[in-house]
Amino acid sequence: MTAGLRGARTGRVLVVEPMSSGAALLAAAHDLGLETVVLSHDRDDRRLPDELRKDIDTLVVLDTNDEAALVEAAVEVAREQPLSGVLPGFEFYVPAAARVAARLGLPGLPVESVAAVRDKALMRRRVEAAGLRVPRYASLGSAAELDGAAAVVGYPCVLKPTDSAGSIHVSRADTPTELHAAYRRLSEDRRLDLGRRLDGRALLEEYLDGPEFSVEGYVAAGRVTVVAVTRKFLGPEPYFVELGHVTQADLAPAERRAVEEYVAAVVAALQVTVGPFHCELRLSGGEPVLIELGARLGGDRIPDLVEIATGVPLAHLAVAAHTGTDLRDVPSGAPRAKYAGIHFFTAPSRTPYGTVHGLDRLRARPEVLEVEVETAPGRPVPPAQDFRGRVGHVLYSTDSYAEALELRRTIDLGVTFE
């Protein structure tokens, strides 16, 4: 989206498994005059999309879940020709990218503390130790520990895997029966996500009541910059399927300040010393409380929403921060609209569905920028319990927050699956 500095390439950047928003790092690197090297498994659910291949100058295929092999491959790449930076293309590869950066003397997260941005129990402990509010929590590794954990946390509570993503097996429990059933579903699920299986380790947390937000920003030259605060909309509990986002959120100035200060303190507590961050929190009793922080770009096209609503290109800034590029060399554009949003479709109780109605009418609306249905008619639709239950999306921009909310309602009523 951003006008670039194309010309002779003057460095090369390594990206590990670019997917979701991480895919945008490659075009951003090209814009900044950098060559791209990608390490990827390039098969199954880690297969690179064909449209991404034009942004890859060198591809090294290996099992990226084998971290020792990954680090060795990256060192070999750098031996052939030096690298200017290394970035994780997805949440799971944040620790590996940090270890590669440390081995090669490149900007990266401190190896000693990087586990805390992947392990949610460790994350809670670090943030709590810094004197910041977090939900009450307890770690567990088996069904026998559930009642003890619930005695610490109380009901209602939220059960989640310690280091997964995409809201997989994150659910609310109001009673011991619901809690045991939720843990059974989690521990019996043998499905792989990017080649990884859940291992039964989980976190039980106090249920935080209140609106949810994500905060996008980056750290460069020791400075934390918050770029945007996004309001998140969720599906019906006990699950927490993200059904939409609107950037910027409608926070009062004092709330926005409190959120920014809290997030800057979380970033410091977790020693996120360089690169992008995506912090999820709820305002509970009016106070910000951490859900989690990822040391990466937010998913769900949030960087695109941020660029539409602020002009700030987060993927470019991420590459710049990780390559030590002067941020003044990253061109920011003007905002294209005051607010930008994304809305996800689910097709509840229609699996598979035969037809979808209302998309053409939606496409004709001036606010609508993009409409896509990813799960085709006739294909099985997973239950709307995590990100896999979303069958498509609408991207839009509006002049006011109220119009964004109104459009969400229009989409909900106007698009039907049968």
Name the residue nearer to Mg ion (CB basis): 66 or 280.
280
Name the residue nearer to ligand ATP (CB basis): 171 or 325.
171
- Least Å from the CB of residue 160 to ligand ATP: 5
Which of ligand ATP, Mg ion, none has residue 207 at its interface (CB below 5 to 8 Å by kind)?
A: ligand ATP
Q: CA 390, CA 401: separation in Å to the nearest integer? A: 24
**Nearest residue to ligand ATP, by Cβ distance, number only:** 240
Name the residue nearer to ligand ATP (CB basis): 35 or 212.
212
Q: CA 103, CA 110: separation in Å to the nearest integer? A: 11
Which of ligand ATP, Mg ion, none has residue 275 at its interface (CB below 5 to 8 Å by kind)?
A: none
- Least Å from the CB of residue 234 to Mg ion: 11
- Least Å from the CB of residue 102 to ligand ATP: 25
Q: CA 365, CA 382: separation in Å to the nearest integer? A: 29
- Least Å from the CB of residue 41 to ligand ATP: 20
Which of Mg ion, ligand ATP, none has residue 251 at its interface (CB below 5 to 8 Å by kind)?
A: none
Name the residue nearer to Mg ion (CB basis): 241 or 407.
241
Q: CA 337, CA 335: separation in Å to the nearest integer? A: 6
Residue ranges that bind ligand ATP, judged by CB under 6 A: 135, 158, 160, 164-168, 170, 205-208, 212, 234, 240, 242, 280, 291-292
Name the residue nearer to ligand ATP (CB basis): 67 or 280.
280
- Least Å from the CB of residue 210 to ligand ATP: 8
Which of Mg ion, ligand ATP, none has residue 234 at its interface (CB below 5 to 8 Å by kind)?
A: ligand ATP
Name the residue nearer to Mg ion (CB basis): 4 or 210.
210
Name the residue nearer to Mg ion (CB basis): 189 or 280.
280
Which of Mg ion, ligand ATP, none has residue 235 at its interface (CB below 5 to 8 Å by kind)?
A: none
What backbone torsions phi and psi does residue 202 show, to the nearest 5 degrees? -145, 170
Q: Which stretch binds Mg ion (CB under 5 A): 104-112, 206-214, 274-282, 332-340?
A: 274-282
Residues from 280 through 319 that contact Mg ion (CB under 5 A): 280, 292
- Least Å from the CB of residue 124 to Mg ion: 13
DSSP H or E segment with residue 67: helix 67-80
- Least Å from the CB of residue 261 to ligand ATP: 21
Q: Is the dihedral of CA 247, 248, 251, 257 positive or negative?
A: positive
Distance of CA 113 to the CA centre of its chain: 20
Q: CA 132, CA 26: separation in Å to the nearest integer? A: 35
- Least Å from the CB of residue 276 to ligand ATP: 15
Q: Which stretch binds Mg ion (CB under 5 A): 233-241, 279-287, 344-352, 357-365?
A: 279-287
Residues 369-376: contacts with CB within 8 Å, 24+ apart?
369/308, 369/395, 369/396, 369/397, 370/394, 370/395, 371/395, 373/345, 375/347
Name the residue nearer to ligand ATP (CB basis): 84 or 167.
167
Q: CA 310, CA 298: separation in Å to the nearest integer? A: 15
Q: CA 176, CA 154: separation in Å to the nearest integer? A: 10
HSE, CB side, 13 Å, CA atoms: give it for residue 87.
35
Cβ neighbours of 101 (radius 10 Å)? 26
Which of ligand ATP, Mg ion, none has residue 389 at its interface (CB below 5 to 8 Å by kind)?
A: none
Q: CA 216, CA 213: separation in Å to the nearest integer? A: 10
Torsion of Cα atoms, 269 then 271 then 274 then 279, to 10°:
-40
Name the residue nearer to ligand ATP (CB basis): 92 or 396.
92
Q: CA 95, CA 366: separation in Å to the nearest integer? A: 42
Are 346 and 384 in contact by the 8 Å Cβ rule? The answer is: yes
Footprint of Mg ion (CB under 5 A): 280, 292
